[in-house]
């Protein structure tokens, strides 16, 4: 497996560099996702998402958890 790979986000289509071979340096390493969001991503997508999409999904989940629908 290559240490760095150029990918396109399956959610938004934007390009990003995946560093799965060096995960501690990957763009996703510090994005905190609930188990529910991780499971939903795994069901819906078969590859990585970009940092912006991961952050958007985490924010939407946090709003749902606090009952803030706005």
| Domain spans in the chain, listed from the N-terminal domain onward | 5-60
| pTM given for the model | 0.83
Rounded Cα–Cα distance for residues 38 and 66 (Å): 18
Give the model's pLDDT for residue 19.
87
Helix (H, G, I), strand (E, B) or coil at 5: strand
Q: Is the pLDDT of residue 2 over 70?
A: no
Residues 11-25 pLDDT 10s: 999 999 988 788 788
Cβ 19 vs Cβ 1: under 8 Å: no
Average pLDDT value for residue range 38-64: 96
Distances (CA, A) of 4 to 7, 18, 44, 52: 10, 6, 24, 18
**70 vs 3: which has the higher pLDDT:** 3
**Among 45, 38, 34, residue whose Cα is nearest residue 10:** 45
């Amino acid at each position: 497996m290559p240490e760095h790979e150029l990918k396109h986000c399956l959610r938004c289509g934007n390009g990003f560099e995946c560093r799965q071979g060096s995960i501690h340096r990957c763009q996703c390493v510090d994005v905190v996702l609930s188990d529910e969001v991780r499971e939903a991503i795994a069901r819906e997508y078969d590859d990585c998402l970009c940092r912006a999409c991961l952050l958007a999904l985490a924010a939407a989940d946090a709003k749902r958890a606090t009952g803030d629908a706005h």
